[in-house]
A = this chain, B = another copy of it.
Amino acid sequence: MQAQIARTAPEFRAPIFRPTPPVPAFDLEPDPFDTLGTVVSVRAGGALYAEGDCATHWYRVTSGVLRTCKLLSDGRRQIDRFLFAGDFFGFEPEVEHNFSAEAVSTATVVRYPRNRLDLATADNPRVGVRLFQITLAQLGKANGRLMLLGRKTAEERVASFLLEMRKRSSFAAAIDLPMSRVDIADYLGLTIETVSRTFSALKQDRVIALPNAHRVTIIDLAALEELSGDV
């Protein structure tokens, strides 16, 4: 693979902070985090934090879509996750963020201070357990992506991606893809051309329909699952 040189630099617009009423950290159970959150808005294309920033907070998506990604010095980019409403992110093993977080579409997130988290954890064992569960779920998903990036073909990657997006759209037949082809490519370890060509081929084969570039309708789900390579 040859270097793919620096694509349009992300616009580093300052996030908008607003004073907010307390926001619950987890909606499934009452929690001592409930009073810790602050709402933050980020415009489409804006950065919430950059790789290397001090990881003073962690976050949960309220609305909109974000991405976490990493750059190599020559501009090659790998997207780690797409973040949708309800997703947690910003947990880091180190002091610094290993990824940058940017808004794919205008988004609101709730921000939790990391230090107060430590205090809450000391008080309540359930907090630690909950964090453990969340991190474990993320680890499971990250591990699933290793197979995709290491061993799957372009077609399998795209099919897997569409199925993942379908899952995140509550299994609707019509899927909205808020991210660009560049984002999809950088998520799947491919180029935009390969992603585009693969979409076209799937359309040609009547597996999917493309009403427009950011809308996919699954016509033949069984075929798509077959193509995804996951048994």
Task: Enumerate chain A interface residues (CB-CB to B < 8 A).
Answer: 1, 70, 72-73, 76-78, 80, 91-94, 98-99, 121-129, 131-133, 135-140, 142-147, 149-153, 186, 188-189, 229-231
Contacts and interface: CB of A to CB of B under 8 A. Distances in A.
A142 B70 CA distance: 13
Nearest to A68: B143
Contact of A135 (B72, B135, B149): B135
Q: Which 3 A-B pairs have the closest CB atoms?
A: A128-B128, A150-B189, A149-B149
A58 B231 CA distance: 26
A146 B137 CA distance: 16
Given A93-B133, A98-B143, 11 more contacts: A1-B151, A70-B143, A70-B146, A73-B229, A73-B231, A98-B140, A122-B129, A125-B128, A135-B136, A138-B139, A150-B188
Contact of A129 (B78, B121, B144, B189): B121
25 contacts: A70-B147, A72-B152, A72-B231, A77-B151, A78-B146, A78-B147, A78-B150, A92-B140, A93-B133, A99-B143, A121-B125, A121-B128, A121-B132, A122-B129, A125-B127, A128-B128, A128-B129, A128-B131, A132-B135, A135-B136, A135-B139, A139-B139, A139-B142, A142-B143, A150-B186
Contacts of A123: 125
Contacts of A229: 72-73
A182 to B, nearest CB: 13
B93 A140 contact: yes
Given A73-B231, A125-B121, A149 B93 contact: no
A152 B1 CA distance: 7
Contacts of A149: 146, 149-150, 189
A142 B142 contact: yes
Nearest to A93: B140
Nearest to A230: B72
A140 to B, nearest CB: 4
Nearest to A142: B142
A145 B1 CA distance: 17
